[in-house]
Homo-oligomer: A and B are copies of this chain.
Amino acid sequence: MSKLVIPRKTVYRLSLYYRALQRLRGNRVETVSSAALSKAAGVKPTQLRKDLAYFGHFGTRGLGYNVPALSAKLTDVLGTTQLQPVILVGAGHLGSALLRYPGFAKEGFEVIAAFDADVEAKRRGIGVPVLPMGKMAEVVRDRHVKMAILAVPAVVAQEVVNELVAAGVLAILNFAPLMLQVPDNVVVNSVDLAIELENLSYFIQ
């Protein structure tokens, strides 16, 4: 229940802290001050302390945070302790590039299958089976898939989302440039590349 009060931006920053901690672990650092950790994550120390306070009491005054312990806690909070099965829908140019993106596996997400209306796309799924759309609901149900990456054209996106939600998907990373309608229990994060450029365009005038 208490989860609902945690700001979405805080959850984003937890990922930044986790990455900074991973780099520290790579350098065999055991303890880190809140000043050093916040700097590594690109946030203010007060923000770091406020964000972590949502999840309990961390760190020892004068010593800082224990790097492996805080890493483990963040993995637990973010729900990435276990490998999450993810499907990708739409294996066009962007979708097939995403299939080759090494960052997902590194962060605990396994793209178990891709789906596309075009059988030609099968050739583009390197190491990941690309299946016809008709198999999507079945795979979602059988493999208990809760997360999907959507890289289909805008005109079919809502229809695909309806099918994903009906099959049990609860979270969608959307690359189609439109607003998706989903029930309240489903979360959508949209990445609209043109909007990102448009936003930059504003700031350089």
Q: In the complex, are the beta carbons of A171 and B107 less than 8 A apart?
A: no
Pick from A15, A79, A146, A197 the residue with the most CB of B within 10 Å. A197
- Can you offer 25 A-B residue contacts whose CB atoms are under 8 A? A3-B205, A8-B199, A11-B203, A18-B198, A41-B179, A77-B202, A79-B202, A80-B198, A86-B197, A94-B97, A94-B98, A97-B97, A103-B193, A108-B201, A109-B194, A109-B201, A147-B200, A147-B201, A170-B203, A171-B200, A172-B200, A187-B203, A189-B199, A189-B200, A191-B191
Distance A86 CA – B41 CA, assembled complex (angstroms): 28
Chain B residues with CB under 8 A of A201: 78-80, 84, 108-109, 147, 171
Contact with B along A163-201 (1 / 0, CB 8 A): 000000011110001010000000101011111111111
Chain B residues with CB under 8 A of A193: 98, 101, 103-104, 173, 191
Chain B residues with CB under 8 A of A187: 200, 203-204
Q: Tell me the nearest residue of chain B to A97, going by C-beta.
A: B97
The distance from the CB of A156 to the nearest CB of chain B, in whole angstroms, is 15
Q: Tell me the nearest residue of chain B to A149, going by C-beta.
A: B197
Contact of A171 among B41, B147, B171, B204 (CB under 8 A): B204
Q: In the complex, are the beta carbons of B203 and A171 less than 8 A apart?
A: yes
CB-CB under 8 A for A197 and B146, given A78-B202, A93-B97:
no
- How many chain A residues touch the partner (CB < 8 A)? 57
Within 8 A of B (CB), among A81-105: 84, 86, 93-94, 96-98, 100-101, 103-104
Would you call A106 an interface residue if the criterion is a C-beta within 8 Å of the partner chain's C-beta atoms?
Answer: yes
Distance A71 CA – B108 CA, assembled complex (angstroms): 42
Q: In the complex, are the beta carbons of B171 and A103 less than 8 A apart?
A: no
Contact with B along A67-78 (1 / 0, CB 8 A): 000000000011
The distance from the CB of A190 to the nearest CB of chain B, in whole angstroms, is 9
Chain B residues with CB under 8 A of A147: 197, 200-201, 204
Would you call A42 an interface residue if the criterion is a C-beta within 8 Å of the partner chain's C-beta atoms?
Answer: yes
